[in-house]
């Protein structure tokens, strides 16, 4: 099953890379995605802010490297290519929406809840301070929603706002993730769950690192 999944991902990656290389004006695509690049004699180096690191994409080879020395997974490579290929250049709408309020995403809301929000609730449902600290360590912008909230930028044009309501004797904890309404101009619909899941995973890892440093 894992091998089959990897083959599927590899096919998706190859298709996205080929679309970027052969689908027209690359500098224009990068401009719409808010990305800077260095043009050399034989290649192009694209600098992709990705959460709290920068991924350097070298074209036409299609190589990826993190300035943090981290492994750039196949899923991350795919979503970076999808971001560049989909970017429309539309401005932020200034309106935050939940996943289920995005057109065509309503029926997948239970999947989003299970993959993205439940891990956040399990980890931070009774500890808003650790939640806020995890966001701070990732360079997130603090917000004033709920009991604790912050906004992460997955890409320059893809902000994600995470909100936590702490649980108590009467009410269970809750979490929510909000997107700018412009997100459908920057990612395919099926990638919105993926990028939010990656964000949640990074928040959890940030908290684990914080706790290990304290120990």
pTM: 0.92
Distance CA 18, CA 6 (A): 18
Q: What is the pLDDT of residues 139-185, one digit of tens each?
A: 999 999 999 999 999 999 999 999 999 988 889 999 999 999 999 99
pLDDT, residue 23, reads 84
pLDDT, residue 207, reads 85
Whether the per-residue pLDDT at 4 is higher than 90: the answer is no
Domain locations along the chain: 2-86, 96-214
Whether the per-residue pLDDT at 1 is higher than 60: the answer is no
Find the radius of gyration of the CA atoms of the chain: 18
Distance CA 31, CA 87 (A): 9
Under 8 Å between Cβ of 52 and 70: no
Whether the per-residue pLDDT at 42 is higher than 80: the answer is yes
DSSP string, 131-179: HHHHHHHTTPEE--SSSEEEEEEEETTEEEEEEEE---SSS--EEEEEE
Whether the per-residue pLDDT at 211 is higher than 70: the answer is no
Whether the per-residue pLDDT at 215 is higher than 50: the answer is no
Q: In this prediction, what percent of the chain has a pLDDT beyond 70?
A: 95
């Amino acid at each position: 099953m894992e091998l089959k999944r990897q083959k599927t991902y590899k096919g998706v990656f190859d298709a996205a890379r080929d679309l970027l290389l052969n689908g027209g004006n690359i500098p224009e695509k990068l401009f719409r995605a808010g990305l800077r690049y260095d043009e050399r004699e034989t290649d192009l180096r694209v600098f992709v802010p990705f959460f709290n690191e920068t991924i350097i994409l070298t074209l036409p080879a299609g190589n990826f490297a993190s300035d943090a020395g981290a492994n750039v997974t196949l899923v991350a490579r795919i979503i970076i290519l999808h971001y560049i290929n989909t970017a429309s250049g539309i401005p932020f709408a200034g309106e935050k929406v939940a996943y289920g309020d995005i057109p065509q995403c309503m029926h997948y809301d239970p999947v989003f809840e299970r993959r993205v929000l439940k891990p956040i609730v399990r980890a931070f449902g009774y500890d808003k301070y650790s939640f806020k600290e995890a966001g701070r360590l990732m360079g997130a912008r603090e917000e004033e929603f709920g009991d604790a909230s912050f906004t992460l930028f997955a890409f320059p044009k893809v902000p994600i706002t995470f909100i936590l309501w702490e649980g108590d004797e009467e009410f269970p904890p809750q979490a929510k993730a909000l997107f700018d309404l412009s997100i459908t101009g920057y990612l395919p619909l099926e990638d919105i769950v993926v990028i939010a899941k990656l964000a949640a995973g990074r928040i959890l890892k940030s908290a684990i690192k914080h706790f290990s440093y304290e120990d």
